[in-house]
């Protein structure tokens, strides 16, 4: 009886590991197609943009201009929803006199295709190409902003193109390490088919960097955000928030706004 029970447990464990391996795309990438809001709903003027990645995937974005442009934020969002779920953040960044270009990865919102690690890296590069070539934005005016999964996307992009600065919110060291932290009872590190290795890349970024992380983050441990900060070269800063992984920026709105404002002032007002 004991032997049979152990056999059932072993089979169940192996099945669970197999499901994690085979279905991790659906666990990692959680896009929605319908846009639930528009920037105009928050009183923001915007331009509806379609552009194409280097592998001919059509992508959708919004360009939200400010009246007194200080810089242009290229925003790479997290793994869930689409650009329409970031209206509050767009409003807050706009209030800091920032133009914002927010795009949907392939498979998200109105963007075509299916998301993969290599694919969304291409999407980020296409977004940078669009704002520099089609919009005429100079690299020294661009601030990359990555939230959660987008932190890895922004760090990868900053490793390959010139920018003024990079902001990392809720960033993790690598997807393999995060998976192991979230699923400690299975060999998640080895089952993970994606890397999203930010720790190795951030060590080579010499641009000014602001790391934002909530002490209460229930998805990406606060210690991961601190480790990225510690391992990154200067110039750099760290902004500690309260609140969850997805709402810390709103719950700690004053700290968030003032922290970004001070970070940008050091870059653009002291040149």
pLDDT for 8-30, tens place per residue?
566 666 676 666 676 778 878 99
At residue 188, φ and ψ (nearest 5 deg) are -60, -35
Q: What pLDDT is recorded for position 154?
A: 98
Distance CA 207, CA 142 (A): 11
Instruction: Give the per-residue pLDDT at 188.
Output: 72
Q: Which residues contact 162 (CB under 8 A, 6 or more apart)?
A: 139, 140
Beta strands 209-214; 236-241: pairing state: parallel
Per the structure, how many domains does the chain have? 1
What is the widest separation between alpha-carbon atoms in the chain?
A: 75
The DSSP code for 163 is: -
Helices (H), the chain: 2-22, 24-28, 87-94, 117-129, 149-158, 175-182, 188-191, 198-202, 222-231, 248-251, 253-268
pLDDT of residue 246: 92
Query: What pLDDT does 184 receive?
Result: 79
- Report pLDDT for 268: 85
Distance of CA 206 to the CA centre of its chain: 19
Low-confidence ranges of the chain (pLDDT < 70): 1-2, 4, 6-14, 16-20, 22, 270-271
**What pLDDT does 258 receive?**
96
Residue 7 has what pLDDT?
A: 62
pLDDT value of residue 187: 81
Instruction: Please tell me the predicted confidence (pLDDT) of residue 6.
Output: 66
pLDDT value, residue 17:
64
Residue 237: CA count within 13 A, CB half-sphere: 18
pLDDT of residue 98: 96
How is residue 213 annotated by DSSP? E
pLDDT one-digit tens code per residue, 200-250: 999 999 999 999 999 999 999 999 999 999 999 989 999 999 999 999 999
Place of tokens 């040149």: 271
Q: Is the pTM of this model over 0.85?
A: yes
Which residues touch 8 (CB under 8 Å, ≥6 apart)? none
CA 198 to chain centre: 11
Query: Tokens at residue 174, please?
Result: 């690598």
Nearest to 87 by CA among 37, 49, 149: 37
DSSP assignments along 35-61, one per residue: ----GGGGT---EEEEEE-TT--EEEE
Dihedral over alpha carbons 84, 86, 88, 92 (to 10 degrees): -130
Instruction: Check which CATH number belongs to the domain holding 251 and give it.
Output: 3.40.50.1820
DSSP label at residue 270: -
Containing structural domain, residue 207: 2-268
């Amino acid at each position: 009886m004991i032997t049979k029970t152990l056999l059932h447990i072993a089979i169940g464990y192996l099945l669970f590991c197999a499901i994690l391996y085979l279905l991790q795309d659906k666990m990692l990438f959680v896009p929605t197609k319908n846009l639930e809001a528009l920037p105009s709903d928050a009183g923001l003027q915007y331009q509806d943009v379609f552009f194409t990645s280097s592998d001919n995937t059509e992508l959708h974005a919004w360009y939200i201009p400010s009246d007194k442009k200080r810089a242009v934020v290229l925003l790479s969002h997290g793994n869930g929803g689409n650009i329409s779920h970031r209206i509050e953040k767009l409003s807050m960044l706009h209030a800091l006199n920032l133009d914002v270009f927010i795009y949907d990865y392939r498979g998200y919102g109105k963007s075509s295709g299916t998301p993969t690690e290599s694919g969304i890296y291409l999407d980020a590069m296409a977004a940078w190409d669009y704002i520099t070539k089609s919009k005429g934005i100079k690299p020294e005016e661009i601030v990359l902003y990555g939230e959660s999964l987008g932190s890895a996307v922004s760090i990868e992009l900053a490793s390959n193109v010139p920018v003024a600065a990079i902001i990392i919110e809720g960033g993790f060291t690598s997807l393999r390490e995060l998976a192991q932290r979230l699923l400690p009872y299975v060999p998640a590190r080895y089952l993970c088919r994606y890397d999203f290795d930010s720790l190795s890349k951030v060590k080579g970024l010499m641009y000014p960097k602001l790391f934002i992380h909530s002490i209460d983050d229930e998805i990406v441990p606060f210690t991961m955000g601190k480790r990225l900060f510690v391992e990154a070269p200067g110039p750099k800063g760290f902004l500690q928030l309260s609140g969850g992984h997805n709402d810390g920026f709103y719950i700690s709105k004053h700290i968030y706004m003032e922290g970004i404002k001070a970070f940008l002032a050091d870059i653009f007002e002291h040149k």
